[in-house]
Amino acid sequence: MKKGELVYEGKAKQVYLTDNPDEALVWFKDDATAFNGEKKGTIQSKGVINNAIASFFFKLLDSYRVSTHFIRKIDERAMLVKRLSIIPIEVVVRNIAAGSLAKRLGWEEGRKLSSPVVELYYKDDALGDPLINRSHVAALGIATPERLDVLENTALKINTILMEFLVGRNLLLVDFKLEFGTHKGEILLGDEISPDTCRFWDATTNEKLDKDRFRRDLGNVEAAYQEILKRIGE
């Protein structure tokens, strides 16, 4: 497997071509951003930790027959994935009120929801990834109702799998963001599952063990990421 041209660079990852046109190499950076890039910084070893956590969760989901882009972990910072045509919709699943949901509805952070809330965001950095609904999706022409059903149902299945796994690690899955794409006509989960894309709280103390420690200047960010890696047993 040969590392080729850099084809995409995001806030936390770089994507390179390989000698196989159906595959790509994802390289995890230590860069950290928040508030749509307004806050920037570096979290030591974040790329190494997130690569390990994401690789673990992709393998866990595979064992439950959730189709993902993950092929294998290459080294401490890189994974080999199937190349995707990204669907420009971010699917967010919320189990506990936090972040923008708590602010939008005037709820106290930490309020448990009676059932998971699924939200859709238009994946566009220039627009700040705005919240959208099914009517917006239809107007934008970015997904059919049938494809949107697949995204939402898959997101809820992933939520159930992760929550059941994490409860045994004394962790709460507060909320998380997913991205999907197509590969040879099949919809696959892409991006990553890590403390960058999920809110993880300690189930006993509600201590935040995710990127909110960076967003809110709580300190001990790397230690929180390391704690997630330790608890999942990777």
The CATH number given to 85-219 is 3.30.470.20
Mean pLDDT, range 206-219, rounded to an integer = 96
Do the domains spanning 6-82 and 85-219 agree at the CATH topology level?
no
Strands 39-42 and 85-96: unpaired
Q: How far is C-alpha 182 from the geometric centre of its chain's CA atoms?
A: 17
pLDDT in tens, 75-109: 999 999 999 999 999 999 999 999 999 999 999 99
Q: What is the DSSP letter of 86?
A: E
Q: pLDDT band for position 234 (50/70/90)?
A: low
Mean pLDDT, range 2-8, rounded to an integer = 90
Domain 6-82 of CATH type 3.40.50.300 = no
Residues in the chain: 234
Q: What is the DSSP letter of 127?
A: G
Using an 8 Å Cβ cutoff, are 38 and 55 in contact? Answer: no
pTM for this model (two decimals)? 0.95
Identity of residue 231: R
Mean pLDDT, range 35-58, rounded to an integer = 90
* Domain ranges (residues) in the chain: 6-82, 85-219
Instruction: Kindly provide the residue ranges of all beta strands, DSSP E only, lying in the chain, ordered along the sequence.
Output: 6-9, 13-17, 23-28, 31-34, 39-42, 70-73, 78-82, 85-96, 112-122, 131-132, 171-183, 186-189, 198-202
pLDDT in tens, 129-174: 999 999 999 999 999 999 999 999 999 999 999 999 999 999 999 9
Mean pLDDT, range 20-35, rounded to an integer = 92
Q: Give the whole-angstrom CA distance, residue 106 versus residue 104.
A: 6
